[in-house]
């Protein structure tokens, strides 16, 4: 049976065939549109947890237009700025939220469909930089080295809804995604730099407009957090920073009752993906593949060892980041193979 | 100048020569003794963070007699018990606290001298077990495997202040230590299973009676948490569980103003140790050694490269655990080498 | 200046614009075609090193038609076979070679263009299996666990030059690549299961027909080894085994004098890639990205920090395997971005 | 039954109660003493493998007096020397051998009792240094970073059989051990910097005079290699270099028929130890502990889960190095606990 048409059409037609629409309470209908402006947000959050005050209450299926701030909260404005002087750990990667979803309880799953991401503010809106003791090819606070840190370098970047104007020589396509997305953990309050089984700072380029992310609910109301828009990002986010920018992010949020997942999942038009976050990187990959196998077994009638061996032939691995306190990996399979 | 004698003599004489006594506000004098019984504690905590209500306020140098509960909160009582039926993640490893220390501010260091650890309750007071998907030689939630989990095995163990009666064949010496100790992180609230730069579940056998631990203060009043007494433990806590028991732990808590440390440190009669917690295990080791070098340079007048090369000849490495969400390593040097 | 046309046209037209053709001694002209049949090969090799006897001498630019054997050397023939009874470590992954390339010396680079891979033998020609203590989601000899090993499962698979007939339910495209390719290390003789900076068992799905691989020369004559054809493979080769088969692999081999590279590299029509092999997986990724940056700096006039930050926006990461004694990762950039 | 007294008394009396004496062919009797001088050795080796020519043939139980060269083969003579100019990878860590042991076959074990280590040459006999891209707290060729390398620093050190005169400020005890010891792998030829299941560059401080090391035999005659004497070394060999020196190393070599071990083992007066070498460091630890459990089960009648849980209470972990291409860890248990 085809689900009822949504009140507001899907900008990405495939979503009408998504798991989100098939199984959610609100069918992603966008019966109501909420705004979460900077002003309404007030204080942004640097941890995701059950201890902060809600900023918004929505019903399953509602649409939310969120004004996110860039990962540096606008502190880096000129190429002569020194990140070490302007950034103050752990007050990085500001998050909107918590958004309360009516009826969400531990054991449910929240679905987040990203409709669109539109840049905010004046150009140069984009920021990339090299931060001391942060990034994939440098010693860090965890991979502790005695080498001198890399230099601090700041890039301010013009961007619009078509392009990211990296340099005179290089223009990249605007290919936005949300770096950080999660519901609250049950009792932990986790800084917004760290991904784990709640989601968080996964930095997966696939999590852009047209994707649906599934997040485990672990506390009443789910307590959704969102932030960290990237205008584009390579696999691994190797220097530690994408093209960070402030954005208007339009999402639909829905609730799938009694679908209990242990780690975040993602769906696009042509694939389903499980996401793991851990160190070392092989553990993130193991988690992602194991979750994908479990998903294929429980919902697509694959036999366990068949799924394991089949993914050895057609599994897709995406590296989110290998620069955060935990690294994120997505393991995916094309939908047409699922049959 | 020798510091004044304490009001209550030190059960371990060397403490009068410790950094704690030399630099702290209260000289570990034990002017006052507080009791933190189970009843006074009320609800135990499963995260360390800035969001919980204080249970006790003390002055620097005070003595506290704490009734800790075992890591399973007494839920495992018989060898026929199934941990998977009785334990409910993440409600494990209950912590006493938070204890507020007068005058403690971000940037200070709290010193905790463990005077004694005395078993509580009736024998068999000790518990060891194998928990599904937990431990060093099994797939876990992070090192995700498809293998069948190991069997659940429970050992109930008699112990007293001299011995741990492991089996008919094996009796081990009672050599207690505190598995989990920390002040609060600044904004995170971290579950009591995970160690990090705040301290937490380090499981270092050196952290027993006669040792002094130094912990960074990151929130007002320091908010000290303590729990997880082990009657004995091997390096690495390989099966994931030590001989867990409930104890009366007597500590003196003091404050060193303006001594800012990035990771926990430990002092015993004959060595100083820096402690790192991370994954993979080499990162924990790197952190510990780098912190030890920094310590030698800033407070013992060693030149940096001399310290680095010297530790290559005489550094001591202790493995706390390699079973928690992060692994803990201590890197130490004998005091007589420091001169 | 366009290079001279080859004697034998390139099945993949882009190769005429490759680094291989631009810089090599023989311009990949295929002046001569050699055959390395099973019979001529005689004993296959299970290590790559400087101690084995050459089986063929070629000139730069020559074409070689190689009969490779599957990774199990044909030992697994039925789905009822037990790999543990038929496979004998370390005699796995048989290699053709060593092939001597005229004029190759330490400090040079060998280029290998794969023209085609054609299946050999009768169907079911393909083999996949689960091998005890081998694979990504199981304890192994290095990631030592106490869990019972996974079951041994064998799949015999029909395949032709269009398809891999995985199961009644799933047919996959035939998308072949070479799993193992290398010149000899300088003094080590490394088993054919282990990749490292010489190349070896990298299991990169990009290394198929139409690709050019660049390999460092470390001993006189280069001593090229090749084997381990895969009819298809997913990222990471998660169960440890691809669709293994025997193939006729047609390659052109050429020599780039005085181009000294530290790790293998790969070129396709639209990207250049550096390959790293190490454990943990983040180290393989670090190597690959660092080599790619070095390449962009030395040959494409990028400034180092610009390259680092740019790859953070557009770098591509491919996971070869995370199941071998070392894991392999490719880091790539699209050629159009190089300008 | 007490074994016959040796022809030459044991400098360490406990050895008469060792596994070596109890089970070996030659009872470590030292019926014959061989000399392997620098001159007799001729070319030293930089790989351990089955392809080199024997330098000596001995009978089980024989004594060998070996002249080892320091890890830099004497190339670093002054504190103003630059390692980067004098050392040429992979020609480091020269090994004596291969020594053929009569009757040794694949599946057997060789036992090596170290009687004594006496310094050779004039003072300053000892060398420590910092080598670019090598060591525990710096980016390396595998943990690839973009940071500038650490400075090259050389220390020349006086030492005698009592002391290592590190600096004006610090004198350390002479506590020698052999850094590199192994029989040949079956088909690989592995550079002398890399430890693995054959042994090799384990850098375990416990492997000194008075210890017995057990090594798996994988090729006919065992092909024993030895080198890399350290006058002292800290846990982890953190800067990558110990106090390297040339020594006269007196060993007894014996053969235990049909004792098949997968990884090296070590015995001292009061403990037995299994040794693992791998990356990441937790894998080395896992290997060591699993091998120790297997040993306790097969030869000391422990039940598997009892051994696992017992080691969680009394296991001892020693970090050899975390600076080599693979890291080495020993897991041990006190003999008195074995009963």
The strand pairing partners of A191, in sequence order, are: A47
Give me the phi and psi of A220, to 5 degrees please.
Answer: -60, 130
Q: Which residues of B touch D337 (CB under 8 A)?
A: 170, 172
Q: State mean pLDDT over D320-339.
A: 97
- The predicted pLDDT at position C7 comes to 84
Residue C133 lies in a domain: yes
Establish whether this prediction's ipTM goes over 0.90.
Answer: yes
**SS3 state at A37:** coil
| Order of all β-strands in the sheet with C212-216 | C33-36, C63-68, C247-256, C109-119, C212-216, C265-267, C271-278, C327-334, C316-319
Closest Cα to residue A241, out of A193, A170, A288?
A193
Cβ contacts below 8 Å, chain B against chain D, sum to: 165
Of B144, B145, B280, the CB nearest to C145: B145
Whether D9 and chain A come into contact, CB under 8 Å, resolves to no
The strand pairing partners of D63, in sequence order, are: D33, D252
Whether B145 and chain A come into contact, CB under 8 Å, resolves to yes
Whether B300 and chain D come into contact, CB under 8 Å, resolves to no
C243: domain CATH number is 2.60.120.580
Contact D94, D46 (CB under 8 A): yes
> Is the link from the previous residue into A90 a cis peptide, with omega within 30 of 0?
yes
Whether D253 and chain B come into contact, CB under 8 Å, resolves to no
Residue C109 lies in a domain: yes
- The predicted pLDDT at position C1 comes to 46
User: Chains with ≥3 Cβ pairs under 8 A against B?
Assistant: A, C, D
Residue A40 lies in a domain: yes
Axis-axis angle for helices A304-314, A281-299 (nearest 10): 130
Cβ contacts below 8 Å, chain B against chain C, sum to: 34
Contact check, Cβ <8 Å, B312/D239: yes
**Total structural domains in chain B?**
1
Substitution target from D132, D133, D146, D148 for chain A, most A beta carbons within 10 A: D146
Whether C283 and chain D come into contact, CB under 8 Å, resolves to yes
Report how far Cα B247 is from the mean position of its chain's Cα atoms.
14
- The predicted pLDDT at position A1 comes to 46
**Rounded to an integer, what distance in angstroms lies between the CA atom of residue A335 and that of residue A333?**
6
Q: Which residues of B touch A188 (CB under 8 A)?
A: 47, 90, 188-191
Tokens of B44: 């135990």
**Rounded to an integer, what distance in angstroms lies between the CA atom of residue A238 and that of residue A130?**
10
- The predicted pLDDT at position C181 comes to 98
Confidence of residue B6 (pLDDT cuts 50, 70, 90): confident
Contact C275, C330 (CB under 8 A): yes
Across all residues in chain D, what is the average pLDDT?
Answer: 97
Q: Which residues of C touch B279 (CB under 8 A)?
A: none
Whether A170 and chain C come into contact, CB under 8 Å, resolves to yes
Contact check, Cβ <8 Å, A145/D146: no
Asked if pLDDT for residue B81 goes beyond 80, the answer is: yes
Q: State mean pLDDT over D222-231.
A: 98
- The predicted pLDDT at position A6 comes to 83
Q: Which residue of B has its CA nearest to C280?
A: B280
**Rounded to an integer, what distance in angstroms lies between the CA atom of residue B254 and that of residue B33?**
13
- The predicted pLDDT at position A2 comes to 52
**Rounded to an integer, what distance in angstroms lies between the CA atom of residue A112 and that of residue A15?**
11
B residues 310..339 contacting D (CB < 8 A): 310-317, 319, 322, 327, 331, 337, 339
Confidence of residue C3 (pLDDT cuts 50, 70, 90): low
Q: State mean pLDDT over C79-105.
A: 97
Q: Which residues of A touch D143 (CB under 8 A)?
A: 143
Q: Which residues of A touch C171 (CB under 8 A)?
A: none
- The predicted pLDDT at position B1 comes to 46
Residues 6+ apart with CB under 8 A from B168: none
Q: Which residues of C touch A155 (CB under 8 A)?
A: 309
Residue A200 lies in a domain: yes
User: Residues of chain C with pLDDT > 70: what percent?
Assistant: 99
Q: Which residues of A touch B188 (CB under 8 A)?
A: 47, 90, 188-191
Q: Which residues of B touch D322 (CB under 8 A)?
A: 282, 285
Report how far Cα A34 is from the mean position of its chain's Cα atoms.
20
- The predicted pLDDT at position C209 comes to 98
Question: CA angle, D300 as apex, D294 and D305 as ends, to 5°?
Answer: 50
Contact check, Cβ <8 Å, B234/D282: no
Tokens of D315: 């296991």
Asked if pLDDT for residue D6 goes beyond 90, the answer is: no
Query: What letter does residue C244 receive in the DSSP assignment?
Result: B
Q: State mean pLDDT over C35-62.
A: 98
B250-281 pLDDT, tens digit per residue, is 999 999 999 999 999 999 999 999 999 999 99
The alpha carbon of residue B228 is apart from the nearest alpha carbon of chain C, in Å, by: 26
**Rounded to an integer, what distance in angstroms lies between the CA atom of residue A322 and that of residue C285?**
9
**Rounded to an integer, what distance in angstroms lies between the CA atom of residue B270 and that of residue B267?**
8
The strand pairing partners of B247, in sequence order, are: B68, B119
Helix (H) or strand (E) holding C282: helix C281-299
- The predicted pLDDT at position B266 comes to 98
Of B235, B281, B289, the CB nearest to D280: B281
- Domain with D175 in it: 13-260
D44-55 pLDDT, tens digit per residue, is 999 999 999 999
Contact check, Cβ <8 Å, B144/A289: yes
Confidence of residue D2 (pLDDT cuts 50, 70, 90): low
Q: Report, in this order, helix, strand and coil percent for chain A, each rounded to 5.
A: 15, 35, 50
Of B146, B190, B286, the CB nearest to A308: B146
> Is the link from the previous residue into A295 a cis peptide, with omega within 30 of 0?
no
Q: Which residue of C has its CA nearest to A170?
A: C337
Whether A145 and chain D come into contact, CB under 8 Å, resolves to yes
**Rounded to an integer, what distance in angstroms lies between the CA atom of residue B156 and that of residue C316?**
53
Residue C186 lies in a domain: yes
Substitution target from D45, D188, D289 for chain C, most C beta carbons within 10 A: D188
Q: Which residues of chain A have pLDDT under 70?
A: 1-4
Contact check, Cβ <8 Å, C189/D46: no
C residues 27..86 contacting A (CB < 8 A): none
Confidence of residue B243 (pLDDT cuts 50, 70, 90): very high
The alpha carbon of residue A64 is apart from the nearest alpha carbon of chain B, in Å, by: 27
Contact check, Cβ <8 Å, C187/D187: no
Substitution target from D134, D142, D312, D319 for chain B, most B beta carbons within 10 A: D312
Residue D26 lies in a domain: yes
Asked if pLDDT for residue B3 goes beyond 60, the answer is: no
Q: Which residues of C touch A135 (CB under 8 A)?
A: 308
Q: State mean pLDDT over D278-284.
A: 98
Distances in Å between the Cα of A104 and the Cα atoms of A215, A218, A221 are 11, 9, 5
Asked if pLDDT for residue C2 goes beyond 60, the answer is: no
Q: Which residues of D touch C280 (CB under 8 A)?
A: 279-280
- The predicted pLDDT at position B4 comes to 65
The alpha carbon of residue B135 is apart from the nearest alpha carbon of chain C, in Å, by: 10
Contact check, Cβ <8 Å, B290/A51: no
Helix (H) or strand (E) holding A295: helix A281-299
**Rounded to an integer, what distance in angstroms lies between the CA atom of residue B307 and that of residue B292?**
9
B280-298 pLDDT, tens digit per residue, is 999 999 999 999 999 999 9
Residue B311 lies in a domain: no
Contact check, Cβ <8 Å, C283/D46: no
Residues 6+ apart with CB under 8 A from D173: D162, D163, D164, D232
Of C47, C191, C287, the CB nearest to D144: C287
Contact check, Cβ <8 Å, D147/A150: yes
The alpha carbon of residue D280 is apart from the nearest alpha carbon of chain C, in Å, by: 6
Residue A334 lies in a domain: no
The alpha carbon of residue C7 is apart from the nearest alpha carbon of chain D, in Å, by: 40
Closest Cα to residue B45, out of A107, A188, A105?
A188
User: Chains with ≥3 Cβ pairs under 8 A against D?
Assistant: A, B, C
Substitution target from C139, C282, C283, C285 for chain B, most B beta carbons within 10 A: C139
């Amino acid at each position: 049976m085809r689900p009822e048409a949504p009140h507001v059409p899907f900008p990405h037609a495939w979503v009408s065939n998504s798991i989100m629409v098939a199984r959610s309470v609100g069918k992603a209908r966008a019966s109501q549109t909420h705004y979460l402006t900077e002003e309404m947000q007030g204080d942004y959050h640097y941890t995701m947890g059950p201890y902060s005050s809600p900023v918004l209450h929505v019903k399953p299926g509602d649409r939310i237009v969120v004004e996110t701030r860039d990962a540096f909260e606008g502190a880096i404005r000129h190429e002569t700025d020194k990140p070490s002087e302007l950034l103050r750990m752990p007050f990085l990667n500001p998050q909107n939220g918590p958004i309360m979803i009516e009826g969400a309880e531990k054991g449910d799953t929240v679905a987040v469909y990203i409709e669109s991401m539109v840049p905010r503010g004046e150009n140069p809106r984009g920021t990339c930089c090299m931060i001391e003791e942060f990034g994939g090819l440098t010693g860090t606070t965890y991979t502790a080295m005695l080498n001198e840190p890399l230099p601090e370098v700041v890039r301010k970047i013009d961007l619009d809804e078509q392009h990211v104007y990296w340099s005179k020589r290089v223009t990249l396509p605007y290919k936005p995604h949300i770096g950080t997305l999660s519901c609250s953990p049950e009792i932990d309050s986790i800084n917004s730099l760290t991904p784990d089984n709640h989601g968080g700072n996964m930095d997966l380029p696939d999590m852009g407009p047209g994707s649906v992310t599934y997040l485990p609910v672990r506390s009443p109301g789910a307590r959704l957090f969102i932030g960290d828009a990237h205008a584009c990002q390579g696999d691994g986010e190797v220097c530690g920073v994408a093209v960070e920018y402030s954005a208007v992010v339009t999402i639909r949020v829905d609730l799938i009752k009694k679908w209990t997942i242990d780690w975040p999942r993602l769906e696009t038009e042509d694939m389903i993906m499980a996401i793991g976050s851990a160190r070392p990187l092989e553990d993130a990959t193991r988690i992602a593949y194991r979750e994908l196998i479990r998903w294929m077994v429980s919902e697509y009638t694959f036999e366990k060892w068949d799924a394991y061996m089949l993914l050895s032939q057609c599994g897709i691995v995406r590296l989110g980041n290998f620069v955060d306190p935990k690294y994120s990996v997505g393991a995916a399979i094309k939908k047409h193979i699922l049959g």
